[in-house]
Amino acid sequence: MRQGERSGTPQAADGQRAVAVGCGTERSSPRTAGGRRGSGCSAARRAAERAGLALFCLAADGGVIKSYAKGVGKEMKIVIDPGHSGPVEPGACAAGVRECDVALAIAKLLADQLYEQGHEVLLTRTGDIGTDGLAFRAELANANGADVFVSIHANSAASPAAHGTEVYCYPGSERGRQLAACLQARLVVELNTADRGVKEADFQVLRETDCPAVLAEVAFISNEADRALLTGYAGQLAAAVALAAGLADYAAG
């Protein structure tokens, strides 16, 4: 689903539109990607600066705190797939946290950034979609002629010690592997997670999607430290910034 139009979007120094992120008092002290406490706005600025994206943090009164220049590759039509959908298929669950909710939160932040960069963005869901299943997700990308498909997930394991980030592509897909490598490289840097590498799998959403498709396991919901990243605003934003930067790397490649 394409994001709604915005008015009054701040401009970067080079005249390009910038990512706008609200940093009101309700997000005054989220957990940062490195596990430290701090301003969500500060964490957002650091992540955007490292990723080379333009980002304006808005104070509670709407004032612009600081901006960063960005470089944008070619515009693309991007389908973002927040994995699973509760209550029928919530995905992995741990300590009261559902994978479907974490995936959707990151997906919406990513969609906002990509849309502001000029890409055409479609979400496979914006809430719980019941039992539409996996085929619908691939069909949406194919019917709309998507350039890339990114499915966002949170990993889980029987051992709570398992942690880190991994991105999957379809076996034998050269462009899919290139895309996965770009996203993996950015995610492990921005989130400071263990690099579990790019992997191949015959997942339905990868197999049935015509365009290059990847499935990102951002972090482990079953691991306490990783779960803090997945549930905190700063961690979710860092993941979105990393994915946006990885997509830009792929487009420029």
Which are the catalytic amino acids?
Answer: 217
DSSP three-state, residue 112: helix
- Pairing type for strands 213-220 and 165-169 reads antiparallel
Which of 25, 48, 203 has the alpha carbon at shortest distance from 112? 48
Which of 142, 70, 129 has the alpha carbon at shortest distance from 100? 129
DSSP three-state, residue 168: strand
CA dihedral 110, 112, 116, 117 (to 10 degrees): 10
Q: How many CB atoms lie within 10 A of CB 178?
A: 16
DSSP three-state, residue 218: strand
* 170 alpha-carbon distance from chain centroid: 19
> Does the bond joining 87 to the residue before it have cis omega, within 30 degrees of 0?
yes
Alpha carbons 44 and 46: distance in angstroms, whole number: 6
CB neighbours of 231 closer than 8 A, spacing ≥ 6? Answer: 97, 102
